[in-house]
Homo-oligomer: A and B are copies of this chain.
Amino acid sequence: MEKNFVILGDICYAKEFGKLECSGGSYLVCENGKVKGVFKELPGQYRSLKLYDYSGKLVCPGMSDIHLHAPQYAYRGLGMDLELLDWLDTITFPQESKYADAEYAKKAYDVFVEDLKHSATSRAVVFATIHKEATEYLMEAFDREGMAGYIGKVNMDRNSPVFYCETTEGSAKTTLEWLDDVTGRYENVHPIITPRFVPSCTDDLMKELGRIASERALPVQSHLSENLSEIDWVHELAPDSKGYADAYDRFGLFGSSGKTVMAHCIHMREDEIELMKKRGVFVAHSPQSNENLRSGIAPMRKLLDHGVKCGLASDVAGGSTINMFKAITDCIQVSKLRWRLVDDTERALTFPEAFYLATVGGGEFFGKVGSFEEGYEFDALVIDDSSARTILELDIQQRLERIMYLGHAGSIISKWVAGRKLF
Contact = CB atoms under 8 A, between A and B. Distances in A.
A406 B78 CA distance: 10
A322 to B, nearest CB: 10
Interface stretch (A56-64, A107-115, A181-189, A302-310): A107-115
Given A320-B405, A401-B77, A292 B333 contact: yes
Contact of A297 (B76, B341, B351, B390): B341
Interface string A386-423: 00111110100010011111110010000000000000
Interface in A165-219: none
Interface in A313-371: 320-321, 326, 329, 332-334, 336-337, 339-342, 348, 350-351
B407 A294 contact: no
Nearest to A228: B340
A336 B77 contact: no
A295 interface: yes
Given A78-B398, A341-B297, A406-B77, A104 B391 contact: yes
Nearest to A321: B406
A107 to B, nearest CB: 5
Nearest to A293: B336
B334 A291 contact: yes
A292 B288 CA distance: 15
Contacts of A295: 340
Chain A interface, >50% SS class:
helix
Number of copies: 2
A102 interface: no
Contacts of A401: 77-78, 80
- The listed residue with most B CB atoms (<10 A of its CB), out of A77, A108, A111, is A77
Contacts of A41: none
B337 A76 contact: no
A403 B107 CA distance: 21
Contact of A320 (B111, B341, B394, B406): B406
A75 interface: yes
A109 to B, nearest CB: 10
Contacts of A403: 77
Contacts of A329: 80, 320
A238 B320 CA distance: 45
A348 B295 CA distance: 12
A74 interface: yes
A146 interface: no
A388 B108 CA distance: 13
Nearest to A105: B391
10 contacts: A77-B406, A80-B329, A80-B401, A111-B391, A291-B333, A296-B340, A296-B341, A337-B337, A341-B342, A407-B407
Interface of A: 73-78, 80-81, 104, 107-108, 111, 115, 288, 291-292, 294-297, 320-321, 326, 329, 332-334, 336-337, 339-342, 348, 350-351, 388-392, 394, 398, 401-407, 410
